[in-house]
Structure 1
């Protein structure tokens, strides 16, 4: 019956769909070459602005994304998401950056655009390293490398090698870092890409500098500066000159360090790059400090601090502007969503008025059907509960039977151990009685005057005395005794710490409730000696004169 109701509801909805389609206002506009070019121009302009004006770049990229969504232009959507991710990455907004890069990756995968997918994976690797996920970072760079190798894209392969090399350098895995940077260098030189070659040379120099191989690092920095100059990349020249000045400072060539760093400062000043100006002043401060020119060192340090504060303020301003742009875009999106929801709500109200009577009629039937179904389910649940109780009862009976069987088995095992202990004790008694009789007969034989016979008999008597006291079978007896009377010796030693082996044996024989005569026979001592031993044991156990030693030990 419920299936029938669901079918009726679906029929109602299908009848209303054409009307809803006619009322829709957000119909995607057809994508044309002119409209897609407009998206591409927006993303290109945003790409040019994101390093200096991230807020403007974000707004343009978001406009490109909105237009791509309206046109259903998938490649434009992916490019816009990726560009937004880059803008947010450079401003330290890593979570949203990664979210946009992942959305771009999904679209690139659907489009099978492997070249852009390789770029995206490398960008994700940078973000993952920034959020301290080096393993994920390495995996994404390696996936990008595999894509580029599949495409035989040498420039992409070289860039991926460089990223992996930098990652290993930051993890202080210098040999691996050098290996990947050298492979990247070979490809860039093969492609005659001066800018890429200069970048890799600078990377290798930094690794060698970390390894304190300053001469080799200097050679790579010099090559990087020359190539950057040839390529017309002034900013790369500034970075290279600062690195060279740093090497001269570390190797004690302070005058050369000042000259080269001063060149870097002048070039950075012409470019207006505050980061490199600040870095040059910091390096000059350190060099002058090593040279003993503390006034100059202080002046450059103050300039560095001032520049650093200005950079910090500029970055803060940029981040605030970007956050404001994010907020404004979010507000606009919320306003649009509210308006769309309001329109949709109006449509829903009209639909509700149109189909309300049908739904009301069906509602009573659905409620009645559900109530019947609920009663049926409750009945089934009660039956299942009864079956479960019966099964649990049987299980408890089985467990009880198993427990009784285990108890009987334990009682049987205990009886066997007691019988074994009794047999062992009787064996000791019989053995020692036999030895005692033999000792008596040998003492009588000692009356013979024959000296040799006397010596042999004397030796036998001594051996028998030794056996009576040091019988090895006491170890077997102790093992069997402990199985029957568990923890007896531990409890005994709680009352007296320093008991001798003979006193421990005496206590165990008393625990067996043997007569004093048999105890003396087993221990191989006289009745008087046994009384003395019992007295000493009682004293060590700190018992009073009126206390019974046997009763005390039997209760342990």
Structure 2
């Protein structure tokens, strides 16, 4: 099951903001020494000892750690209070108490600013960015990341800078600005490499893997998860090793290599249990359940999906519970127990509606339709497919928000133009004024003084106009970028909709064909009519005409250039070329064109010949047009 990588990533290697006492045989003796020190220390020293004691418990008992941090805070040692707040923030983060998390971070920031302590201030701002990210306030999160990053770089705190860049990339990935996300990650890797910060490199590799995973490029995702694992092994980071191992298992599952998926998840689970990483543990159990369901092993399927559900209920996460129920439903569907699958989908759908989990609701309706199709309940299956499409449309209202942003950008551009016009008008008035002075009775001195003032003001206004012109150009460029991004998204969405529609219609058609051998008479005649209607839908030109409109808006000269190379290209050649231009896989193309995989390969071979490409790669050629 595809994971929501942003949620996992922040919990990947917990407590990256502050150092943690290492787990070793000397930990107990270290705690004992600190406790003994409390017996012979003054108030200021006790605060420092309580702080250090709390740090030693962060890995295994956060309630004890919180108690020590609170005792340190009560002693009012102003010097270390920002650091105490920073450590307390880790407690509230792990308890998912966002309100308390934001309060302690703001308290710490106020103190750190008054004390002029940039190193702690950077980490507190970084933590506040994470807090707002968890609270889904992404614009505010980005502001605090930016502020923290500037202070970190100014004070050469490159480790924190690298971490902020990685976490910030999750925002841009969420906003579907993946090029910007990759740029942030590339910058993070360079900074981390320059200071030998291997953990920072590993976190960046992991996020790159997550981005490729979200783009369904599982081969590249696997490559970066393996890089993550190697980096984590270099520094013997137990949690990093476990997370990377689990993600490798996730990629192998998506690639259909079930035995390897099971092997890697089984390696990760004991460590995830030891470090009490419940969200990652739930995901591993879910993947194991799916892997065994695809191997038709019902006992092990139920064993692991039930473990995922129990853990989700234990931590009280409705999001995790709904995902686990969806996985259980998918597992039963793989086992061809479609009615049981739908029972769990009902529970999943109810929770997803309650918490507004649109993506999971969309996925659940689609699976429900597929199950009903297998059960021969075609009318009901069609209804659930419509529900799936309605949810998808509601999710795509994000496009409307982007359009609003475009309108706002245009408004700001007009405002800039108005200011420019006002300044130019002001200059004209001053030009008239200076001419009048030249002919006035005030004489040469007044003329020289006035001219000097005028020249100064003129240069000042010219500078203002240049700045406003620059801002106007930037706003126009941003507006064009937003429009292109929206059109690209519309284009890809439409292509994927065609693919999903054709998949389901083909499944309906095949099911009806199987049934036609078992019925006779009037029912068979009606079945034939229904099959013909489905066939017509599969070959409909309506979807392609809409697709062509979107495509030509984004790739204006592509079709004319193709026709210029060979005017004899058929409509099927053009369709194949446009889908390859969108970098769709052969499997996706086969589904959209309603042909088999080998037919796609044959069509590509014919197209390559028609375009007179001998040794040149067809995909690369089309991408560069």
TM-score by length of 2: 0.43
More helix by share: 1
Q: Which protein has the larger Cα radius of gyration, Structure 1 or Structure 2? A: 1
